[in-house]
Structure 1
Amino acid sequence: MSPGEGAILAHATCDEHDRLISADEPLAGLQLRCGGEMPGTIAVPELLELVRRARQARRRLAQAIRAQDGNDAISSWIEVEPEGEGCSIHVRSWQTAALDSEEGSPGEHRRAVTDRHVAELCAWLDAGQRLVAVTCDSPELAQVSAAMEQGAGRCWTDFLPPENVTHQQPLHWRLLDGAPVVVAGSPRSWRVSLVPHIRPGFEPSGFELLLLSDEAPSDWVPVAEPEAPLQRRGLVGQDLAPVLKQPIARIVANAETIRTRLAGPLPDAYAEYAGEIAGAGKLLLGLLEDMADLEVVEEDGFSTTPDYIDLADVSRQAAGILGVRAREKDISIVAPPLDDHAPALAEFRRVLQVLLNLIGNAIRYSPEGSRIDVRVSVEGGRAIVFVADQGPGLSDEDQLRVFEKFERLGRSGDGGSGLGLYISRRLARAMGGELSIESSPGQGARFILAVPVDPDA
């Protein structure tokens, strides 16, 4: 007896938009576990393709469908028959088999080793595919890397959306492994590789996400050209940072896995120790970034590459990136309205870096329940953004010192290196602008970034 002649195990219907309207078990459960909804677009890729072909051809089609469900491989024989505007689906057979564990798959191990070698961005995720840490040295991916770093705790698909996928995210990790993703602003095609941290018989306790492209990097980013001054790195940026960032990020990821008890039950004291390790690791990563940037901005002949940007739009992006961190302290960030514009001539990546530093500092030093206002204007040939907080404010003496190298105004234990504002002012001046402050003790602080206005606007 052929598969098509067996008894019907389950029945389902879909509409003309390939949305699963009704389904019996086990198909209904598989739809939900693959990230789909009921009703919702069919989430099993091979079934979706079969339904589309049957509907377009207006004739009955049948074939074996394969899918992954947790640690099981599903193999089923499914018939699809056009019915009205949609289709009727019949499941004739359904078999499950345990998938090989990662440890028992030499081919998967070799693939992971190769992918790690060529990946241009690496991130560590928890069991729910939420970001824990990220490391990246590619100038082309600087914007998405910065957003992911600031978006710890959010699903990675918020920053690297899979192409042509409309299902609820995240999908099961096996459906996303190898999926093409969209990298905003990059002309290349990208895909992700998800390497699970898994023990036989258990669900993954976390993942390593590797961002890969089969296309060679182009010279679309001007600062990536060999002769650009920005590429001449010193000891930290060229030698130490690339070597240290990945192992430190691994330490942070593993410590966060322990702290959140994803690997199993743990006494509170040990979870706190793990949290301290993760915090120290994040501090080291930040210090490496600051030291590398310090070498760059202090090079002779350092310059930036001007872009035609909207300072209001960059401000809104920076506020969005740091929104989660602000909400953790019950702080609201009031970004420029969508109809506000401030056309400017400045390097997008560097302006975003400065604004992330200013808004990040405002979050760090503002009290819970307060507000941070970000506003823009165009005055006297300058596009200006103001970042005002409701923190403790600074005295006249401290305002003179706050932009000095390694200056932390006597603070300790706040995770800062004392380099952020120094680097930010150097960047502002390299773009032909300025970074200044207005403040009074007890009245908060207002940082003012001014860059050249777009002369053609």
Structure 2
Amino acid sequence: MVGAPNGEQRRARRPSEARTARPRAGWLRQDFADRTRGRTATLNQLLLASVVFALGALVAVGPFPGDPVLFFAGVVIIIVLTGATLVVPWNRLPYGWVAVVPAIDIVAITLMQLAAPRTAMGLLWIFPVMWLAAGFGLLGMFAVIVTVAGITTVLALVSAQQVTYTTFLLPLVLFAVAATSHLTARRSDAQRTLLAKQAQLLRRVLESSRRQEQVVTEVLDAVDFGVVRIDGDGRVAVTNEAHGRLQQAMGSDDGEQAPAFRDDGVTRLPSDELPVERALRGEAFDGHVIWFGEEPGPRKALSITARRLIDPDGGDGGAVVVSRDVTSELEALRARDELVASVSHELRTPLTSILGYLDLAIEEPDIPDHVRANLDIAERNAERLLRIVADILAASSSSSSSIEATMTAQELDARDIVRASGEALLPRAASRAVTIDMTGLEEAGVWADPMRLRQVVDNLVSNAIAYNKDGGTVFLGTTTDGVSTWILVRDTGIGISEADRSRLFQRYYKAGAERRTGTGLGLAITRDIVRAHGGELGLHSSPGVGSTFIVKLPATGPGGTTP
């Protein structure tokens, strides 16, 4: 078992993170958009300025076929405009003001083209044309078309040159570049919009997941049983506060975990059989009771259940281990058993005396027949009461250790025990026209205490007769494979419902309206005796069809010998 983090800290931390995440994300989106606008203006202008600066350097060192004053006037305008672009706070101005920069660039490039009409200076218009077409939508694109058409017309008139196909080539190229930039920008805007929607959806899903995680955490911390979630790779992923409290309660004085014992509170539990170790190995179990701590010090009893989890792909998703403190319940049951045992012992002595005097009275030869009949009735009821007291005493001391202390196992033939039980109960079966079929008895060696085994078979056969239908059948059988021996008791009676089967072996429990007779102790005592022999008692039943009890016992003793 592992320790748990402080749940109060966990609950206090997550809501604050959720509260601060949303406004921070909104501020980042707005700031990101403003910084992108300023960065775009700066980068576009720096790119144009770099090309113009390199072109100006070439003009300065070599011959220039044009007006250098007019050319450098355009260069200076672009350089100065670039410096202004670097210092202007674009995020504080309306977005339309950015269009002033490429507009002035177009004017400066026009001056450079006028300075040398026969050169390709007009190609520099590509930079502001792309900027306007991409950044200002259809309005920017039409503005570019009108501006370029007007400028090229003016330049053609000013230069007074013959109009040829080369006169229209530059405008067509600029129009194509503007259209391409516009379409590319629209496509990029659509992609950004889609990404923004997906990001918003992811934020909502993340926020919903955080809220659900917070609710689950608060619910887990509110319950009074410990919960441990183990991932498929064996890592402990989730624990709750109750688990941490149980861990502290199970700690010893030196800070280590207290020693663990089995449900009898005496047998030491190996470290590899601890619940979490078993869960890590892939095991699943239900209601495994473990005692922590040694007497006479404080002790804790935990009922631990492990359930395997399946991931969406159908693989092993780990396990959930749930632990519950059942110390008070077990101590209350122990106190009840002690009280019942004490009262039963007190009742047994006077009942034995009553039966003795009834026997003496019945043996008197001079008593009338009707008095003798009354005494017989009193004796039968006194014997029944004594059997009930004996069952209560057995139930109050029915732990495996107490039964094992009174057992003397030896080599037996289970067939003889079962046949003797069936023959002894033939009169009871005949009173209800129930047939006891013993044709299924085979030679079957078993290592058991004869008196205790007879008690088990008598109880099962008595129940099979009592809860059978009039005229029904009780089938008895024995078989072995040399390692284990099976005893079968099957009836054709009323059967047991699924709801009753889950509690049938609990002490003092009587299932269904048809099973209200008796003390409800017989099957609980029977199973305890079978388990004390190292065996198991199984049940198969269908309502209205009948029930089958199967006793599995070792066929050989510790030495491996068979009868």
TM-score bin, normalised by smaller chain: 0.3 to 0.5
TM-score (norm 2): 0.35
Higher strand share: 1
Higher relative contact order (CA 8 A, sep 6+): 1
TM-score (norm 1): 0.42
